[in-house]
A and B are shown apart, each in its own frame.
Chain A
């Protein structure tokens, strides 16, 4: 279902881009690909649901034309996807698409037969235009004959319109099918080997719901086809009303433990429960996961709290929101909430099911400091206010303190990940040469979203500062402070609505690429399929130039053996390093990093910071970090700028450094 919705959304988005943006009409050919993927992987009804959703969204935005494009592409995508699933080849596609084009043509001709007046009007308007053009051309003697011929041809063509439309329909459907088929095959090839991260599944169980007390005895888990155990033998009891914290580094089996508690069968050992797990059911087990945006399913806060409850259930929405500190926000749209607010909303939605066990799986890792504290405040009181067990999975040891009991999974194995291989800091011994050359000069920069429309919203106001070569600057601000907008302006991706941003004396938006930027979502910045291709493409040299690829990788502390690795097999920390490798290989004037530490575990965070500090101090790289966190950044970024609701307030300690 979610696949249908998101793919539908993707198709709609592609359609809208193709309809709204001029000259991007070719994109609409590609809308067929996500639809084809759905038809390939799932049943027809999923495709239908997705087509319905996509066409409605497209209609809401782009009107009838968007609607028609989506329907056409769903038709073509569905046909190609089904052919792909049956394992047939290109000849089948051509044959089937000819038939499909014929059917489509019959349908259009029939519709136009019925809509006599609309047809007459359209043809009349076209005739008028052609006649006018012919009249104009006939003024010039040499063109007269061909103009008359053209008019005659057009007249004949109109007479035989059903034939023309039929031909046109068959032609376009065939072209779109073949292009769609080609793209779908290539994309499927690319997607093969991406691990299926689909984790939770509804356990096949019956009987009364009663997940606690859960007794785990020597439980061990190994994913099918894996060489190592994801979870090493563990014994644990979760009693009603107990607050248990599970800590450990990435790869120690925290998430696997969550899956087991949610009803997956262990490879060996036993889990005893008095009744069924009841995932998401009243008195059952509720789970809140890591990514704030994907947790929240409703478009409005109140809708999200009740989302998925059986029809007719009465819920005290106001009370639940009050408990998580979101009182009075029922009518707010979820799109405008911060990460911390979204997670608290997810907790409220979990509580709406009055669960006997709540599992919080790394819910604070993508949330800023304030949001983290608020979330922990909500969690710590839960077991007192409700009759339920709380299992809190986290990689922050300090978050485990409020728990009745803490279990550290890393202790059970000799964990190499936690050990840092990096050399000790060299900061104080090699101070970077402070040259006076300014790299970035911002003066009076302001930015307003959607200006001159009713939705106008000011993101930045009168921001001025200078970044010198070799400096390390932290731009710190909470949610909605405009720090990401500022990063985009500095990278030249957005033009400021007022003021100027100069890179080496010239406007930043003329020199895209001079200032490198690493986004928070590293995966989106990795466009190629393999590491070496990616680095070469980002840096602008040939992928055959192995030496430079390896050199680039070694700059960021990655082994040369990774060069042939596929992007989707990298860990989060490796992805971020590959992005930085590609960016640095172009010798940018400065490197901007947007939330470089988000979503990484402590060891990867530490390693990345070490690397960046080293690059800045020893290679003179100018580093600008955009973050909502200070922790651990002092050495990398000695200078801090605070951004608050679009205004710059320099930190008291660094006031002297401001020009």
Chain B
């Protein structure tokens, strides 16, 4: 009954069940891809580059067998906001002009709005693809391998990777604890307060209390994890399996390089 109306929740840090070519790729490849494409689009956010990368994203989604259900429900206000943006942008007019039957429609503004929106969607989609297809356990080892060139610069890549691995491990536990904190707040009666000033002060104390409770819990968790690390004699290995690119990764990276080069050439030369 209520199931039909229920909104789809956001599921965090869990890959889509099943496997595919994309799931099998090395996590480092995916990180490089996202990095390169973000950089490319930041420098050359033209129609061609955005379109090309959007096509790539769609293709990868198909390859990874990602069903529609992964998308969380888009709240209505966001749709309204988008529609409002589109309408005002259309009213803004500008070149080029679209001849539609007897009406001349200036769609320059709309086109710019669309380009900007599409750019945001492609960037969001890229990030989402990584989390939909990558097991979190694979990320930190990939960072170690990717960060190897930085080691001579005295950047403590290994420490960072350990911190990353541990925070990914601790993240779901903290989320659970937040859920509990929120629930116990909901269980309490709301105090009735006379004036705005008292309400504001109340709000401030409440905030500090929640924050202190959250931080205390996090600190305790951190202490216990610290003990566990000490009990294991400090940090060292973080993964049992080796983490390095395979042949499929080189193929994927070559495709990425070719597409990027194409996009840059087209954008710089002003072709199309």
Point out residues on A near B: beta carbons under 8 Å: 1-10, 12-13, 16-17, 20, 22, 30, 33-34, 37, 45, 48-50, 52-54, 56-57, 59-64, 115, 117-118, 121-122, 124-125, 127-133, 135-136, 183, 186-187, 190-191, 194, 196-202, 262, 278-281, 284, 286-289, 291, 293-300, 302-303, 305-311, 313, 315, 317, 330, 333-335, 346, 349-350, 353, 448, 450-455, 488, 491, 493, 495-498, 512-513, 516-517, 519, 521, 523-529, 537-540, 568, 583, 586
A128-B112 contact in complex given A308-B232, A313-B237, C-beta closer than 8 Å: yes
Interfacial residues of chain B within 226-272, with CB under 8 A of chain A in the complex: 226-241
A136-B137 contact in complex given A17-B178, A121-B45, C-beta closer than 8 Å: no
Is A56's CB under 8 angstroms from B42's CB? no
Judge whether B80 is part of the interface by a CB distance below 8 angstroms.
no
A279 to chain B, nearest CB (A): 6
Is A524's CB under 8 angstroms from B167's CB? no
Chain A residues with Cβ under 8 A from B13's Cβ? 57, 60-61
Is B88's CB under 8 angstroms from A495's CB? no
Is B238's CB under 8 angstroms from A280's CB? no
Chain A residues with Cβ under 8 A from B92's Cβ? 127-132, 135
The CA of A302 and the CA of B237, in the complex, are separated in Å by 11
The CA of A308 and the CA of B170, in the complex, are separated in Å by 17
Chain A residues with Cβ under 8 A from B46's Cβ? 117
Q: B191-232 vs A: 1/0 string, CB under 8 Å? A: 100000000000000011111111111111111111111111
Interfacial residues of chain B within 3-21, with CB under 8 A of chain A in the complex: 3, 6, 8-14, 16-18
B23 to chain A, nearest CB (A): 13
Looking at the complex, which one of B12, B45, B89, B156 makes contact with A118 (CB distance below 8 Å)?
A: B45
B196 to chain A, nearest CB (A): 18
Looking at the complex, which one of A57, A307, A333 makes contact with B237 (CB distance below 8 Å)?
A: A307
Classify the secondary structure of B's interface with A.
helix
Judge whether B119 is part of the interface by a CB distance below 8 angstroms.
yes
A306-B160 contact in complex given A122-B116, A191-B216, A527-B185, C-beta closer than 8 Å: no
Looking at the complex, which one of B112, B127, B137, B174 makes contact with A9 (CB distance below 8 Å)?
A: B174
Is B2's CB under 8 angstroms from A299's CB? no
Is B209's CB under 8 angstroms from A298's CB? no
Is A1's CB under 8 angstroms from B226's CB? yes
Chain A residues with Cβ under 8 A from B186's Cβ? 493, 512-513
Chain B residues with Cβ under 8 A from A127's Cβ? 92
Judge whether B131 is part of the interface by a CB distance below 8 angstroms.
yes
Judge whether B163 is part of the interface by a CB distance below 8 angstroms.
yes
The CA of A296 and the CA of B229, in the complex, are separated in Å by 9
Chain A residues with Cβ under 8 A from B170's Cβ? 5-6, 9
Is B42's CB under 8 angstroms from A115's CB? yes
Judge whether B58 is part of the interface by a CB distance below 8 angstroms.
no
Is B223's CB under 8 angstroms from A453's CB? no
Chain A residues with Cβ under 8 A from B174's Cβ? 6, 9-10, 13
The CA of A287 and the CA of B227, in the complex, are separated in Å by 9
The CA of A2 and the CA of B90, in the complex, are separated in Å by 52
Looking at the complex, which one of B11, B44, B172 makes contact with A453 (CB distance below 8 Å)?
A: B11
